[in-house]
Amino acid sequence: MKKKVIWIGVFLSIAIIAGLKIKMGSPVITVELAKVTRGDIEEYVEETGSLMLEQEAGIYSVASGRVIQVSKKEGDEVKAGEVLARIDNSDIMLQIKALEAQKLGITAKYAEAQTSTDDEAIRILNAQVRSAEAVYEEAIRTMDSSKVLYEAGAISLSTYKSSVTNLAAAEASLETAKSSLALAEKGASEYVRKQYEAQLSEIQTRIDQLRLKSEEMVIKSPIDGMILAVKIKEGNIVQPGTILFEIGGSKGFYIESYILIEDIEGIEKGSEVIIEDEDIGIDNTRGTVRKIHPKAESVMSALGIEQKRVKVEIDLGNEAEGLRSGYDMTVKIIRQRSKDTLIIDEEAVFNYQGKDHVFVNEGGVAKLRAIEKGIESSEKVEVIKGLREGEEIILVPDETLEEGTKIRGGLN
């Protein structure tokens, strides 16, 4: 009996020592804990977007000449129809005056042709024809000479053009004199009347064309807006197609962003967008996707890597007051969202044996738990399966943490 008692004592001692060793071999690890909560979560694509004007265009010259006035500078507000610049139109105005004088002369002769003509009037008209012929022949010689001198570089283009204009005027005067003589000799027949009317119509057409060209040399704003850039100075010589101004309209702004083709899935017209930029004071402003361009483009990243991206336009509504075209900002395009769902910090999730897991605090002991994730957002993860609201999970578990490890810690 004594031996039995001794052996029982030995076994108890061994058990106590073993228990102490186990207890001493399982230290308590301090961890950071967080609760499983319920709320709303949004999954989004984050990119940079640029602020663009709804109306933005260049104003180009449709005439050639010297700029004699620039009345607006960059940043000026303008109204539709307001004069921005003028191109010298003095040569055109002289041509218009010459044609109007010619028109008055033909009109007078037309009226005279409808009255009787005596021999003295016919003699005078013959003299006018001879004089007009002499002027015309001299104009031909002058134009031929000017052409040679211009091609040799001895005179300017404007001087040469003036000789061509003078020839045209001399030719018209000769034809007018001949018509007047013929009318006086034959009387104002229906045919002659039609000739006069055709001449008057042709002259009026040329006057109208020159006036239109003169109007085009007064550069006006096509829209209400702001001058973004002035491309000319007074004294510049411009040609048709020369850009003069860049102007932005007053109809508001939109954002243009380029999304990687692998991120475009789930983005559609009407998708909500969160717009932020701390530098220009934009915080949690909301917009919507209004257009997704059908074709991907090759875009060079900041690191010099060519990427395929899709251009997306974002409507700002009335949220862009005080902003300027060209501002860059952060856009978060929401692809999907869940409401009233379980949410945990992404720092708690890790991959183990090909599946997502977390460590759960079960009575001060770390327990490994497999979970099924849903939407992932900034620093948050939706949990579809594996956790319950209110449970505590371990944040940022390291390699020393194993299932069954005793833990202690506070909630984040």
**CATH code of 29's domain:** 2.40.420.20
Domain assignment present for residue 268? The answer is yes
Domain assignment present for residue 282? The answer is yes
Domain that holds residue 31: 24-41+339-408
pLDDT value for 344:
95
Percent of all residues in the chain with a pLDDT value above 90, rounded to a whole number: 49
Tens digit of pLDDT for each residue in 157-168?
888 888 888 888
Amino acid at site 178: K
Q: Is the per-residue pLDDT at 133 higher than 50? A: yes
Of 336, 353, 379, which residue sits at a domain end? 336
**What's the CA gap between 365 and 26, in Å, rounded?**
11
Domain assignment present for residue 98? The answer is yes
**136: enclosing H helix or E strand:** helix 119-151
Residues whose CB is less than 8 angstroms from the CB of residue 178 and which lie 6 or more positions away in sequence, other chains included: 129, 132
* Together in a domain, 368 and 256: no
- What size, in residues, is the chain? 412
Q: Is the per-residue pLDDT at 9 higher than 50? A: no
CA 19 from chain centre, in angstroms, equals 76
**What's the CA gap between 18 and 6, in Å, rounded?**
18
Distances, alpha carbon 126 to alpha carbons 100, 104, 123, 179, 183, in Å: 24, 20, 5, 11, 12
184 contacts 113 by C-beta, under 8 angstroms: yes
* Together in a domain, 115 and 136: yes
* Together in a domain, 94 and 211: yes
21 contacts 397 by C-beta, under 8 angstroms: no
Domain assignment present for residue 31? The answer is yes
Tens digit of pLDDT for each residue in 321-369?
556 777 888 999 999 889 999 999 999 999 999 999 999 999 999 999 9
378 contacts 76 by C-beta, under 8 angstroms: no
Domain assignment present for residue 14? The answer is no
Query: DSSP label at 298?
Result: E
- List phi, psi (to 5°) of 152: -85, -5
Which of 48-57, 92-101, 313-322, 368-377 is predicted with the least confidence, judged by mean pLDDT? 313-322
Tokens linked to 242: 């020369």
267 contacts 313 by C-beta, under 8 angstroms: no
Tokens linked to 375: 């939407």
Mean pLDDT calculated for residue range 106-117: 74
**What's the CA gap between 245 and 228, in Å, rounded?**
8
Average model confidence (pLDDT) across the chain: 85
* Together in a domain, 290 and 331: yes
